[in-house]
Amino acid sequence: MEPLSPPTQLGEMTVVELKAYDGWDPEKSLLIAIKGQIYDVSQSRKFYGAGGPYALFGGKEASRALATLSFEEKIFTGDISGLNSSELDNLRDWENKFMDKYVKVGTIKRTEIVTNGPVASPVKNVFYGTTRRGAPYQNGGVLREGFGCLIGITSLSPRLMIL
């Protein structure tokens, strides 16, 4: 096995962009985010990479999943609101483990929505989805608020993607 190259600082990226670093491409770093901080976990590819026991963590913001110790796909989010004290302690422990073991290479880009009532104003330069190969694409879509989540609407695709 070849030695790992040093982690590359990536700066800010969206959660959609982060998905491209899920461990399925051996040429790319394997990344996981906790509390908005992105860590290069490539050295633990056998655990977090393709086929590993924790592969579903790769390329995701895993704060809520780690706090609640849940492996449900829908719980992989950076939203930590409503966590109880025990769950927040779990998350703090995981965050400390990641800070001690892995290199921080970036942060999750937060999308700021300015509203003038119940519907959000159009936002430019927001990634709405990925191509079949996992690369982010963007289009002049509109973000709208609804049911506690952000939904990207694009003219490229008839489907909605929860961001």
Name the pTM for this structure.
0.66
List all residues 6 or more positions away from 5 whose beta carbon is below 8 Å from its beta carbon.
none
User: Does some domain include residue 31?
Assistant: yes
User: What pLDDT does residue 37 have?
Assistant: 96
Each residue's pLDDT tens digit, 83-121: 999 999 999 999 999 999 999 999 999 765 545 444 443
d(CA 15, CA 143): 15
Same domain, 132 and 101: no
Residues 104, 27: one domain? yes
43 or 116, which is more confident?
A: 43
Evaluate if residue 144 carries a pLDDT over 90.
no
Residue 118 and residue 163 in one domain:
yes
Domain containing residue 66:
11-108
Same domain, 55 and 120: no
Q: How many distinct structural domains can be found in the chain? A: 2
CATH number at residue 69: 3.10.120.10
